A and B are shown apart, each in its own frame.
Chain A
Amino acid sequence: MSKPTDLVQGTLDLLILKTVALEPMHGWAVAQRIRQVSGNVLQVNQGALYPALHRLEQQGWIQAEWGESENNRRAKYYALTKAGKKYLQHEEANWERLSTAIGLVLKTV
């Protein structure tokens, strides 16, 4: 297995929020989804994932609920809250601006 790319803390938060924005999801699924969508480039380490989920829950961006998983097990599903949605939009806009800016710099030089 390739070495997971290190994720800046804020970036991981953004990825998680974006992922759970589609539908409520448990931790394992979040990691899988990020890996799949990024074409196996971004591998989220469990050691970073769960503290991040708990942090986001603590901050009120996401909320958790227990539900049945796809294989009929009890799993903790995380869903985006209203406040989380606003926060995500804000952060996405930030990210756009930042990456465009970096892209410009890289292209020009």
Chain B
Amino acid sequence: MRWLKSTSHRFRSLFRKNVVERELDQELRFHLERQIAEYVVAGMSREEARRTALREFGGVEQMKEQCRDERRVNLIETLLQDIRYGVRTLRKNPGFTFFAVVALALGIAANTAIFSIADVVLLRPLPYRDAGRLVKVWEDSAAYGFPRDTPAPGNFFDWKARNAVFEDMAATSGFHHSFNLTGDGNPEEIPGKRVTANLFSVLGVKPALGRDFRAEDDIPGSAHVAILSHGLWLQRFGGDPQIVGKEMHLNYEKYTVIGVMPRGFQFPDREAQLWVPAQFTKEQLANHGNHFLNVVARLKPGISLKTANANLATIAKQLEKEHPEENAKVGAYAIPLREETSGDIRPAILVLVGAVCFVLLIACANVANLLLARASGRRREMALRLTLGASCGRVIRQMLTESVLLATLGGVAGLLLSFWGTPFLASLIPAGIAPLSGTEVNGRVLLFTLVVSIATGMLFGIIPALRVSELDLVDSLKQGGGRSGLGSGGRRLRDALVVCEVALAIVLLSGAALMIRSLENLYHLDPGFRADHVLVMRTPLPRQKYEEFVRRTAFYDQVLERVDHIPGVIAAGYTTWVPLTNTGGATGILVENQPVPPPGQRLIPNVRIVSKDYIRALRMKLVKGRLFDEHDGAGTQAVALINETIAREYWHGANPIGRRFTRGDPQEKPEWITVVGIVGDVHQAGLDIPARPEMYLPYQQQDFGFEPEYLAVWTSGDPMLLAEAVRTEVWTVDKEQPVAGVMPLENLVDDNLAARRVQASLLGGFAGMALLLASLGIYAVLSFAVTQRTQEIGVRVALGAEPGDVLHLVFSQGLKLFLIGAALGLASALGLSRTLTHLLYGVSAHDPVSFASVTILLAGVTLLACYIPARRATRVDPMVALRYE
């Protein structure tokens, strides 16, 4: 029962505060009066008795405070009181509050947005069962220029059979696959994957509807089945609960839907909407030379990545011996799936995380500065409170409450900003880079924002608060209005904060400058082809319909013939892959009159099967010899164009024109191909990746599995204006032919640079925020200093100082801060920029131009920030100033 009573006491103290306070007051007053009466009885005069009793009684307020403490409601009560008081002070200074909240909101919103992306990309486990044990397995063909090669089915099959480290291994076909879905509704290109039947069980995800693939579905010739993504099921089939067992047509063949994957499931990327069994044939599973798989495997419990890699290396060595032709110098290794999916974007995100932290730090420094300035105005208030019985800790607590309150307001505003900003950021990141489903403001993000807000409040509040403990009470109380209140210690602190802001801003700005220069270099780099005014589209021929080679070439002939005649078309060409769509696509060759290279040193150039005008349509350079012409057709001499890298590496400087090579075995009736021209190197794999050896063969002469499916059209005007006309011509040739991926070639260039562009623009944006905040910081400090020194300036003017002298006074203070900050900033930027090295292109991490330009930029902004307070200083009227205090 006792606890009930004491709780009710506490409630009484908390909610009936007035009554309790009055009672406390009465009780103590009664004591005092009783004591006075006692002294009067003892013979003192009433006045004397009163004085003695009061002196003896001691500090009434302190005693009251102790009594309240005993009631132990103080914690909540003072918090409420502090919050009320804080809200009142903040409302009284709307300008200060507004600026502080905006600065903090920007900092916190940037952090929240970047965190929610980092959360998905780096932190949250991948949406598969026990995803930590999932790895991707690659072939290491670095000897041939492919350090991360898509494994050949034969290798996959042998790894799977021989390894001791994986529970299971699954594969998807690495080729770009899409299925032409026909049947009810419009024909539609659906991106999908051919997969081994065990894929979903390796990933540990079961279909939400229907069943998983079974081993028998994967046997060549068995009935066609398909599993749909949740999104496709909703979009195309309206979420039909009876979908399982229904039939649909994919690439003109009948498939039965057997299942629907759960919402949010994606593999291997967020594009794939549909999965069908790969049904690899025995021959395919024995093929070690055709590299086109993506392999995912699940480690056995307790097996480390290192053990797995050792095991894979051993198997790879065995395979080298067994298949020297294909497997010489081909290794194998596994990397965690998490690294695989976030690998490219990880360093960029870490850089951005660092950048937003800097922005927040600058915002904190700014607000701390404002608080310090305000604290110097509140010294008298604080001194008064301390004198009236507040403990030092109590005053510090109150000031911290105010700053946390401020930070919370900033946090709420920041959160509102990030509701808009996060989806915007996520939309900037292209689909191919990282799986970003579920980038929204969720519980974790909210928690993050809350923690950041409170930590921020503590961070910028602690310095001004701690300065309270250094207050000299008597001095502060004596200092009238408290105008000249700020001691030199306070000014030094404020100066130090501004110096830090400048330094942080320099670091951010130089990082952004380096990234932007890299991007610029890449945009101005000559990739060996021109992307402007080129329209591309894919017309993949359904294999069933175009079984025979002549039917296929006839299709290409007719389409090109028709497209050439569209007004506005300068040149049109077919190719297997336009640049930036395939890093590989290679085949081994042997050069005439050269010894057959030993295994492991075979020549494996990229091959592109093209039409005669393709080279012209992409405006590639002809270095030597001739391009293809209308005479290079079926039945004439087999010809090839080679790039400069082949010419240099395979013919070692000798003139290769007229020389021959073969794809087959030179011992048994080789089919020689004659080099007729050399074209410039083209960056196929990525704008920042140098060219491999590469050759171009006319489609009429070669039929070995690589089909030209990209149509590239060089147009005189906007390429997209001709898209409809070109598509119509394709449909005139074959009205059922699917046409996909219609876009300007420039889109591919943009996509290729998207990650860098996003990084550069985000970093640039954050650097801009830093610049703004830092310049506001300088402005605030100088403006405050001018106000503080009004009297001094007035005296100087009265004694004959010219406006120039006054300007000099203010500018020199501002520039001093800037110079120290810039020196510190440049030093740290030079140190930190090394971490950016692998994100840069064509620019050194210590690029003097970048560093110089950001310093000049910040110097300019600093001058501007100095100018306004300096102007104000020159207008000081000595008469007014002298009466100022």
Chain B residues near A76: list those with CB within 8 A.
23, 26-27, 30
B35 interface hit (Cβ, 8 Å)? yes
Stretch at the interface among A16-24, A47-55, A101-109: A47-55
| Residue in chain B with minimal CB distance to A29 | B34
Q: Taking the nearest CB of chain A, how far is it from the CB of B250, in angstroms?
A: 78
Complex interface bits, A28-58 against B, C-beta within 8 A gives 1, otherwise 0: 1000000000000000011100111011011
Which residues from 2 to 33 on chain A have a C-beta closer than 8 Å to any C-beta of chain B?
26-28
B142 interface hit (Cβ, 8 Å)? no
| Residue in chain B with minimal CB distance to A83 | B2
Using A27-B31, A28-B34, A28-B35 as known contacts, say yes or no to A47 and B67 having CB atoms under 8 A apart. Answer: no
Interface extent on B, as a size class?
20 to 34
Chain A residues near B70: list those with CB within 8 A.
51-52, 54-55, 58
A99 interface hit (Cβ, 8 Å)? no
Which residues from 685 to 721 on chain B have a C-beta closer than 8 Å to any C-beta of chain A?
none
Complex interface bits, B28-55 against A, C-beta within 8 A gives 1, otherwise 0: 1011011101000000000000000000
B551 interface hit (Cβ, 8 Å)? no
Chain A residues near B58: list those with CB within 8 A.
45-47
B30, A50: Cβ atoms closer than 8 Å: no
Instruction: State in angstroms the CA–CA spacing of A75 and B71 once bound together.
Output: 20
B626 interface hit (Cβ, 8 Å)? no
A50, B63: Cβ atoms closer than 8 Å: yes
B5, A60: Cβ atoms closer than 8 Å: yes
Instruction: State in angstroms the CA–CA spacing of A69 and B66 once bound together.
Output: 25
Complex interface bits, B1-19 against A, C-beta within 8 A gives 1, otherwise 0: 1110110011000000000
A74 interface hit (Cβ, 8 Å)? yes
Chain B residues near A26: list those with CB within 8 A.
27, 30-31
A73 interface hit (Cβ, 8 Å)? yes
- Give the residue of A47, A58, A60 whose beta carbon is less than 8 angstroms from that of B66: A47
Chain B residues near A69: list those with CB within 8 A.
30, 34
A59 interface hit (Cβ, 8 Å)? yes
Instruction: State in angstroms the CA–CA spacing of A54 and B67 once bound together.
Output: 6
Chain B residues near A27: list those with CB within 8 A.
27, 30-31
B71, A54: Cβ atoms closer than 8 Å: yes
| Residue in chain B with minimal CB distance to A52 | B70
A28, B67: Cβ atoms closer than 8 Å: no
Instruction: State in angstroms the CA–CA spacing of A76 and B28 once bound together.
Output: 10
Q: How many residues of A contact B (CB 8 A)?
A: 24
Instruction: State in angstroms the CA–CA spacing of A59 and B67 once bound together.
Output: 13
Instruction: State in angstroms the CA–CA spacing of A54 and B73 once bound together.
Output: 12
Secondary structure call for the A interface: helix
| Residue in chain B with minimal CB distance to A75 | B30
B6, A51: Cβ atoms closer than 8 Å: no
B72 interface hit (Cβ, 8 Å)? yes
B57 interface hit (Cβ, 8 Å)? yes
Chain B residues near A59: list those with CB within 8 A.
2, 6
Chain B residues near A1: list those with CB within 8 A.
56
Secondary structure call for the B interface: helix
Instruction: State in angstroms the CA–CA spacing of A81 and B275 once bound together.
Output: 79
Which residues from 242 to 281 on chain B have a C-beta closer than 8 Å to any C-beta of chain A?
none
Complex interface bits, B66-81 against A, C-beta within 8 A gives 1, otherwise 0: 1101111000000000
Using A50-B63, A51-B66, A51-B69 as known contacts, say yes or no to A60 and B34 having CB atoms under 8 A apart. Answer: no
Chain A residues near B35: list those with CB within 8 A.
28
Instruction: State in angstroms the CA–CA spacing of A59 and B71 once bound together.
Output: 9
Instruction: State in angstroms the CA–CA spacing of A1 and B35 once bound together.
Output: 14
| Residue in chain B with minimal CB distance to A46 | B57
B34, A50: Cβ atoms closer than 8 Å: no
Instruction: State in angstroms the CA–CA spacing of A87 and B6 once bound together.
Output: 16
A60, B30: Cβ atoms closer than 8 Å: no
Instruction: State in angstroms the CA–CA spacing of A50 and B60 once bound together.
Output: 11
Chain B residues near A45: list those with CB within 8 A.
58
Instruction: State in angstroms the CA–CA spacing of A74 and B31 once bound together.
Output: 11
Chain A residues near B34: list those with CB within 8 A.
28, 69, 71
| Residue in chain A with minimal CB distance to B13 | A58
Chain A residues near B67: list those with CB within 8 A.
50-51, 54
B63, A51: Cβ atoms closer than 8 Å: yes
Using A58-B72, A71-B37 as known contacts, say yes or no to A28 and B31 having CB atoms under 8 A apart. Answer: yes
Q: Taking the nearest CB of chain B, how far is it from the CB of A78, in angstroms?
A: 10
- Give the residue of A55, A57, A73 whose beta carbon is less than 8 angstroms from that of B30: A73
| Residue in chain A with minimal CB distance to B65 | A51
| Residue in chain B with minimal CB distance to A45 | B58
B31, A60: Cβ atoms closer than 8 Å: no
A50, B28: Cβ atoms closer than 8 Å: yes
B63, A73: Cβ atoms closer than 8 Å: no
Residue of B63, B70, B72 ringed by the most chain A CB atoms within 10 A: B70
Chain A residues near B69: list those with CB within 8 A.
51
A74, B63: Cβ atoms closer than 8 Å: no
Q: Taking the nearest CB of chain B, how far is it from the CB of A58, in angstroms?
A: 6
Chain A residues near B59: list those with CB within 8 A.
47
Instruction: State in angstroms the CA–CA spacing of A55 and B5 once bound together.
Output: 13
Q: Taking the nearest CB of chain A, how far is it from the CB of B16, in angstroms?
A: 14
Chain A residues near B63: list those with CB within 8 A.
46-47, 50-51
Q: Taking the nearest CB of chain A, how far is it from the CB of B720, in angstroms?
A: 80
Chain A residues near B1: list those with CB within 8 A.
83
| Residue in chain A with minimal CB distance to B27 | A76
Instruction: State in angstroms the CA–CA spacing of A58 and B9 once bound together.
Output: 7
Which residues from 450 to 478 on chain B have a C-beta closer than 8 Å to any C-beta of chain A?
none
Residue of A27, A54, A66, A75 ringed by the most chain B CB atoms within 10 A: A54
Instruction: State in angstroms the CA–CA spacing of A90 and B26 once bound together.
Output: 33
Chain B residues near A58: list those with CB within 8 A.
6, 9-10, 70-72
Q: Taking the nearest CB of chain A, how far is it from the CB of B503, in angstroms?
A: 50
Chain B residues near A51: list those with CB within 8 A.
63, 66-67, 69-70
Instruction: State in angstroms the CA–CA spacing of A28 and B56 once bound together.
Output: 13
Complex interface bits, A55-92 against B, C-beta within 8 A gives 1, otherwise 0: 10111100000100101011110000001000000000
Instruction: State in angstroms the CA–CA spacing of A75 and B5 once bound together.
Output: 22
Residue of B9, B10, B34, B63 ringed by the most chain A CB atoms within 10 A: B34
Q: Taking the nearest CB of chain A, how far is it from the CB of B38, in angstroms?
A: 8
B26, A57: Cβ atoms closer than 8 Å: no
Chain B residues near A66: list those with CB within 8 A.
23
Which residues from 163 to 191 on chain B have a C-beta closer than 8 Å to any C-beta of chain A?
none
Q: Taking the nearest CB of chain B, how far is it from the CB of A77, in angstroms?
A: 10
Chain A residues near B3: list those with CB within 8 A.
60
Instruction: State in angstroms the CA–CA spacing of A75 and B6 once bound together.
Output: 22
Instruction: State in angstroms the CA–CA spacing of A75 and B32 once bound together.
Output: 12
Chain B residues near A60: list those with CB within 8 A.
2-3, 5-6
Q: Taking the nearest CB of chain A, how far is it from the CB of B360, in angstroms?
A: 43
Chain A residues near B33: list those with CB within 8 A.
73
Q: Taking the nearest CB of chain A, how far is it from the CB of B616, in angstroms?
A: 94
Chain B residues near A57: list those with CB within 8 A.
9
- A-B CB contact pairs (8 Å), 22 listed: A27-B30, A28-B31, A28-B34, A28-B35, A46-B63, A47-B58, A47-B62, A50-B27, A50-B28, A50-B31, A50-B63, A54-B71, A60-B3, A60-B5, A66-B23, A69-B30, A71-B34, A71-B37, A73-B30, A76-B23, A83-B1, A83-B2
- Give B contacts to A, CB under 8 Å: 1-3, 5-6, 9-10, 23, 26-28, 30-31, 33-35, 37, 56-59, 62-63, 66-67, 69-72
Shortest 10 CB-CB distances between A and B: which pairs? A60-B2, A55-B70, A54-B70, A51-B66, A28-B34, A54-B67, A76-B27, A28-B31, A60-B5, A51-B70
Inter-chain pairs besides A46-B58, A58-B71, A83-B2, 8 sampled, C-beta below 8 Å: A26-B30, A45-B58, A54-B67, A54-B70, A54-B71, A58-B6, A60-B2, A76-B30
